[in-house]
Amino acid sequence: MTSANSDSRPADSDRNLPARDPNSGFWPVFLSTFITIFLAELGDKTQVTTLLMSAESKAPVVVFLGAGLALVSTSLIGVLLGQWLSNRVSEETLDTCAGILLLLITIGLVGDILSR
């Protein structure tokens, strides 16, 4: 009977928990992701492609199924890639890179707005 392995995580709970996740719950993350992605994609090229395809083909359901499956796949790949990276890169580095990436997306969106 093994003993003395019950104290492997002593007082782990108060070990410098940074205040990094005020929104760690499911719904705040879900909603902030949903709203930003939705607004960013509205009127974007993929949506235009889908729109034209369904208008031309007269089979909007099929187009929606194909496009929808593709969108679910790409977002799953994206999240899995992020997870994979988070197991290899330190949290701080990843947060910094992710923050910079999001700011680059912001700049790209602003560029889209200005170039039209």
Partner 1 sequence: MDVKLFLVAFVAVFISELGDKSQLAAIALGGSSPSPRAVFFGTASALLLASFISVVLGGSSSVFIPEKLVKGIAAIGFGLLGLRLLWPESENS
Residue 4 or 38: which CB sits closer to partner 1?
Answer: 38
Residue 6 or 115: which CB sits closer to partner 1?
Answer: 115
DSSP 8-state secondary structure symbol assigned to residue 58: S
* Cα distance between residue 45 and residue 42, in whole Å: 9
* Cα distance between residue 47 and residue 54, in whole Å: 11
In sequence order, what are the residues at sequence separation of 6 or more whose Cβ sits closer than 8 angstroms to the Cβ of residue 22? none
Residue 9 or 27: which CB sits closer to partner 1?
Answer: 27
Neighbours of 63 (CB within 10 A): 19
Determine the distance from the C-alpha atom of residue 82 to the mean position of all C-alpha atoms in its chain, rounded to a whole number. 8
CB of 8 to partner 1, least distance (A): 23
DSSP 8-state secondary structure symbol assigned to residue 10: T
Residue 11 or 27: which CB sits closer to partner 1?
Answer: 27
CB of 2 to partner 1, least distance (A): 33
CB of 87 to partner 1, least distance (A): 9
CB of 59 to partner 1, least distance (A): 6
